[in-house]
């Protein structure tokens, strides 16, 4: 049981994608050919990864988003349902579901093509805000190539929640208007490169800048160095766990799940950073973004042994 009794419900709001990972003999240049050695297909999307992480940690979760009326959409919905996520706010609409095609060659070099599909059609008018009883909302980026509706919807929906967490990802880190969303954010969860890009300052100074825009807590992900967390009064550098790394895909999303779980449980800021590092470490030990995500019991055991 949590320190504060029952856990608040968290809504996730971001792109829903099928991740198609192709192991290829080589990444072809223009007008060249290569061949596919192996294919792995997994449900993805940064916010969805974090929401699944929270659900495994016993948090009640709901997802807001859109999938296409294709087999990929059915696959994404099925997977979220199996993870215990409420999908009643995921719209199914005519068109293709979002898809991220990742091509990896034997030396580990990658080329990525993202098809936003119907994600770009997410529209605030279609969201049944009254049906969302969640206390907190976690948001991540949309591609917003063909329409800016998803970004506008996120700005509007943010105003309905007490706690708004935002992982900008590289896509939003490159938008000058990301500040319009940051100013509605309570917990900001960027990587070091993202906060430095957004603020034009080193990450500690960058954290001060976003807090000057109303953000209450900043947790900067520092890769193998762990994380930096601050609430403007206290600050902590928390080293990462020493683990054998299989694959860092989704490490940042897993970190967000651990951090938000501990925050909702009422743990102190430094413990939130420790929990984020722990969930991320469990994730990087396994292949893929979700295979290693731990249970509530694992995290509580780890935190109680500190």
Q: Give the shortest CB-258-to-ligand ATP separation in angstroms.
A: 8
Q: Give the shortest CB-53-to-ligand ATP separation in angstroms.
A: 12
Contact 47, 140 (CB under 8 A): yes
Q: Residue 8 or residue 101: which is nearer to ligand ATP going by CB?
A: 101
Q: Give the shortest CB-166-to-ligand ATP separation in angstroms.
A: 12
* 206 binds Mg ion per the rule CB under 5 A: no
Residue nearest to ligand ATP (CB): 252
* 222 binds ligand ATP per the rule CB under 6 A: yes
Work out the number of other CB atoms within 10 angstroms of the CB of residue 37.
Answer: 12
* 14 binds Mg ion per the rule CB under 5 A: no
* 157 binds ligand ATP per the rule CB under 6 A: no
The span from the CA of 65 to the CA of 126, in Å, is 10
Q: Residue 76 or residue 251: which is nearer to ligand ATP going by CB?
A: 251
Using the rule CB under 6 A, give the single segment among 8-16, 131-139, 204-212, 221-229 that binds ligand ATP. 221-229
Q: In the stretch 239-258, what mask flags binding to Mg ion with x, by CB under 5 A?
A: -------------x------
DSSP, residue by residue, 64-102: EEEEESSHHHHHHHHHHHHTT-EEEEEEEESSPPEEEEE
Using the 8-state DSSP alphabet, how is residue 291 labeled? T
Strands lying side by side in the sheet with 110-115: 36-44, 17-24, 98-104, 110-115
Q: How far is CA 56 from CA 106, 164, 181, in A?
A: 33, 20, 28
Torsional sign, CA 12, 202, 249, 270? negative
Contact 149, 123 (CB under 8 A): yes
Residue nearest to Mg ion (CB): 252
Q: Among ligand ATP, Mg ion, none, what binds residue 245 when CB lies within 5 to 8 Å by partner kind?
A: ligand ATP
Maximum pairwise Cα distance, the chain: 60
Query: What residue ranges bind Mg ion (CB under 5 A)?
Result: 191, 252
Applying CB under 6 A, the residues found at the interface with ligand ATP are: 191, 221-224, 226-227, 240-241, 243, 245, 248, 250-253, 255, 277, 280-281, 284
């Amino acid at each position: 049981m949590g320190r504060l009794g029952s856990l608040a419900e968290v809504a996730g709001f971001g792109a829903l994608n099928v991740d198609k990972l192709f192991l290829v003999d080589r990444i072809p240049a223009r007008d060249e050919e290569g061949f596919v050695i192996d294919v792995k297909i997994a449900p993805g999307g940064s916010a969805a990864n974090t929401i699944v992480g929270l659900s495994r940690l016993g948090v009640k979760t709901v997802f807001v988003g859109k999938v296409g009326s294709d087999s990929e959409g059915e696959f994404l919905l099925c997977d979220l349902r199996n993870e215990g996520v409420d999908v009643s706010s995921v719209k199914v609409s005519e068109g293709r579901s979002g898809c991220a095609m990742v091509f990896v060659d034997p030396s580990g070099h990658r080329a990525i093509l993202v098809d936003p599909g119907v994600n770009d059609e997410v529209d605030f008018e279609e969201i049944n805000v009254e049906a969302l009883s969640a206390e907190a909302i976690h948001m991540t980026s949309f591609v917003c190539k063909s329409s800016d509706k998803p970004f506008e919807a996120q700005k509007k929906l943010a105003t309905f929640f007490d706690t708004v967490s935002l992982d900008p990802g590289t896509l939003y880190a490159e938008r000058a208007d990301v500040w319009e969303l940051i100013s509605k954010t309570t917990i900001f969860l960027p990587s070091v490169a993202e906060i430095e890009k957004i603020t034009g300052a080193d990450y500690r100074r960058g954290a001060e800048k976003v807090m000057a825009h109303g953000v209450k807590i900043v947790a900067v992900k520092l890769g193998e160095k762990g994380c930096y967390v601050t609430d403007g009064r206290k600050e902590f550098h928390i080293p990462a766990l020493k683990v054998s790394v299989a694959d860092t895909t989704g490490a940042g999303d897993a970190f967000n799940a651990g951090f938000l779980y501990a925050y909702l449980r009422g743990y102190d800021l430094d413990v939130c950073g420790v929990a984020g590092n722990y969930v991320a470490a469990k994730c990087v030990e396994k292949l893929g973004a979700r295979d290693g995500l731990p249970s509530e019991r694992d995290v509580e055991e780890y935190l109680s042994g500190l």
